[in-house]
Amino acid sequence: MVKHPHVGFYKRYVCYVYVGLTVEESLLVGHEHNNTAGYHKKLTFVQRMRCWRDAFERMGCAKSNEAKRACLEALGIPTFSWNQIGLWDPQLQICMRGPQVWALLSDIFTLWEEAKIKDVKMKKGTSGKKVKSLEVAESSESGSETGKGKKGGRPVKKNKKDVCQERLSLMPLNHLMYVSEKNEIVSEPADMPCKPLLGMAALDDALVVPILTEVKSGVLSLDEMNHKFTLLKVRQRTTAAFVEEVGAGSWEVAKEEFPVHTHEAMMSQYYKLYERNVKEIPLAMQLYIAKALNYRDKLQHSQQEKQTTATQDHEGLLINWTAFEGEGYKGTVKVAHCDMLQLPEKMEDRLPFTLCIMDFPCGYNVEGSVDDEAPFSRPQIEGSIASFKKITCAPYWVIDGFYSSDMHADLKSTFSNACNCGVEVGIWVAPNIRTCAARTPNIQFQFSDFDMRMTYWSHNVVVRKFTFAADNEILCPHQKPISLYEWLIKKFSDLNDSYIVDVFSGSGTGVIATLLCKRNMLVVESDLRCVRGIRARLAGRGFVESATKEKDSQSRIVSEGWRHA
């Protein structure tokens, strides 16, 4: 067959032309002649793929044994049993891919024939004998001396210009194919290896398409393509084992349940375990899956706690009554983020509050304190007591107030007018704070002469104050000991379903003492930072341990009695 630049170099076969036959009949007759001549046995891998694809498409693109038999019969291969079909099945799967994959494969086949694939392998030309071409004949007719002379087409007289034109006319066949002036093919692409393409078996088309696209664009060679196919298979085996062991329906579901352990950087550490098909889960993978399940359980438990807290406490600030119960503590807590004068507007229902503890601002204005520039005046004290009366429905109640000696006159007269059962004045002495001489306490109160007797109690001042983790600062500089609040709560409230109000709560010492005494407390605090600090202090559930350490300190002194003014 005469060689032509627009005809591929692999199409050098005898051409049969039949007149008066239909296309199907001519294909059948041509196939019989080719089969008899043994041409199909000499087809390259690319030619075989195209032949099988034509047969596959004629069978309706249905992957079946009938379609496979039709493909093999097109090459004259006997198909009497499945064993004969099975030998060719891996290669048959290549040509039976989806339309998108086959379109890329077809382009890659064409590029391989044109030697435009990365790292294409060349071989010595199969046409070592002299071959006449149309270009040579045309150049001879146009006046060139090339092609004239003795038998075999050997030129008698060389024309350098005409020879160069003839070589250039042959270059469209293959830019890497070298053709001598004797019209001999010196080098051409070797037969395309099938092993790299066999590597995409068991991979979905969606995974194969990006890699084939890189091969078509010249980014990957066939060996690099096969390496990527191998990595995809290893990854597929690893992820399949992970999905099966954790009980997820799919890889997407597993990624939602295990966002950390399904990350590529984490999973790639176990790819070596699945470079070959394994029947059992390797021990390292079992341990990794166990860690993932444990992490998932902890995450779900944390989410459930957050959901429960969100249901009870929408803003995370204990704005609704929230139950606390555990070893050594029990009760319900609610935080009212408002001023004491605004409290009646915040309370929907009146509750049987039997005790109200008020830590009045004394005007110390210590660094870190809030709203402590001046001591509470008498109108403010009266307003606080009036607000408490509006929210309680208890038949009797007790109000405890912490104040400085400068506020004694106003506070005692206000309490005397509000309470008809009498007023008791007490002194809190802190034995762990001494003067320079270390002889007498530096906290002393002087009362008028008509206060014949007064109660005094001794509790250590808090040395290690609670620090708010959000800003690593002390939550409130005026933190009082838990034992002091416990003494007040146990003395002035009942154990059975008792409700207490802690006004100007500050660091939340009162609410911790209330839970340890197994009672219920309403916290009233106007500073948002203190409210968040109280919430954080209760969320960790570590307040029981810290309170125990504070109360069991060796330097603590607890005493109660009467002393003269």
Distance, in Å, from the CA atom of 33 to the CA atom of 476, rounded to the nearest integer, reads 101
The count of C-alpha atoms lying within 13 angstroms of the C-alpha of 457, restricted to the half-sphere facing its C-beta, is 15
Q: How many residues does the chain have?
A: 565
Residue 123, strand partner residues:
188
Residue 506, strand partner residues:
none
In the prediction, which pLDDT does 269 show? 87
In the prediction, which pLDDT does 36 show? 63
List all residues 6 or more positions away from 252 whose beta carbon is below 8 Å from its beta carbon: none
Distance of CA 190 to the CA centre of its chain: 47
CB under 8 A, 24+ apart: contacts of 9-15: 9/113, 9/173, 9/174, 9/177, 9/185, 9/188, 10/44, 10/46, 10/47, 10/113, 12/127, 13/39, 14/39
In the prediction, which pLDDT does 5 show? 46
Contact 226, 195 (CB under 8 A): yes
**pTM score > 0.85 for this model?**
no
- Return left, alpha or beta for 131; rule: phi > 0 is left, psi -120 to 50 is alpha, else beta: beta
Distance, in Å, from the CA atom of 59 to the CA atom of 71, rounded to the nearest integer, reads 9
Task: List phi, psi (to 5°) of 126.
Answer: -75, -20
Return the DSSP state at 31.
H
Boundaries of every domain in the chain:
221-307, 314-431+447-460+476-564
Return the DSSP state at 462.
P
In the prediction, which pLDDT does 300 show? 78
- Cα distances (Å, whole numbers) of residue 39 to 11, 15, 60, 77: 11, 12, 26, 13
Contact 189, 123 (CB under 8 A): yes
471 burial class (0-12, 13-18, 19+ CB within 10 angstroms)?
A: exposed
* Token duo for residue 214: 């890189």
Distance, in Å, from the CA atom of 265 to the CA atom of 294, rounded to the nearest integer, reads 20
In the prediction, which pLDDT does 87 show? 76
pLDDT in tens, 130-186: 443 433 333 333 444 444 444 444 545 545 445 444 444 444 434 444 445 445 555
The count of C-alpha atoms lying within 13 angstroms of the C-alpha of 222, restricted to the half-sphere facing its C-beta, is 19
Contact 131, 68 (CB under 8 A): no
Distance of CA 321 to the CA centre of its chain: 35
- The CATH code of domain 314-431+447-460+476-564 reads 3.40.50.150
pLDDT in tens, 312-338: 444 456 788 888 888 888 899 998 888
pLDDT in tens, 100-141: 999 999 999 988 888 888 888 776 655 443 443 433 333 333
Query: 121: how many CB neighbours lie within 10 A of its CB?
Result: 14
* 3-state DSSP assignment of residue 59: coil
Contact 381, 459 (CB under 8 A): no
Contact 144, 158 (CB under 8 A): no
Distance, in Å, from the CA atom of 371 to the CA atom of 363, rounded to the nearest integer, reads 8
Task: List phi, psi (to 5°) of 384.
Answer: -65, -45
Secondary structure of 361-425 as H, E, C letters: CECCCCCCCCCCCCECCHHHHHHHHHHHHHHECCCCCEEEEECCHHHHHHHHHHHHHHCCCCCCC
Contact 391, 500 (CB under 8 A): no
Contact 3, 131 (CB under 8 A): yes
Distance, in Å, from the CA atom of 383 to the CA atom of 96, rounded to the nearest integer, reads 88
Beginning with the edge strand found earlier in the chain, give each strand of the sheet holding 560-564 in spatial order. Answer: 426-429, 453-458, 560-564
Secondary structure of 220-240 as H, E, C letters: CCHHHHHHHHHHHHHHHHHHH
Show pLDDT as tens, one digit a residue, over the chain (565 residues).
344 444 444 343 444 455 667 766 766 676 666 666 556 666 788 888 888 888 888 888 888 888 888 888 777 776 666 566 777 888 888 888 889 999 999 999 988 888 888 888 776 655 443 443 433 333 333 444 444 444 444 545 545 445 444 444 444 434 444 445 445 555 667 788 888 888 888 888 888 899 999 999 989 998 899 899 888 888 888 888 888 888 888 888 888 888 888 888 888 888 888 877 777 888 888 888 898 888 888 877 777 666 555 444 444 567 888 888 888 888 999 988 888 888 888 888 889 999 999 888 887 776 766 776 778 888 888 888 899 999 999 888 888 888 887 888 888 888 888 887 777 777 766 665 544 433 333 333 333 334 444 555 566 666 566 666 666 677 777 778 888 888 888 888 887 778 999 998 888 888 889 998 999 999 998 888 888 888 878 876 567 777 777 666 534 433 333 332 2
* 3-state DSSP assignment of residue 8: coil
Distance, in Å, from the CA atom of 55 to the CA atom of 25, rounded to the nearest integer, reads 15
Residue 401, strand partner residues:
358
* 3-state DSSP assignment of residue 302: helix
In terms of Cα–Cα distance, which of 173, 146, 172 is closest to 161?
146
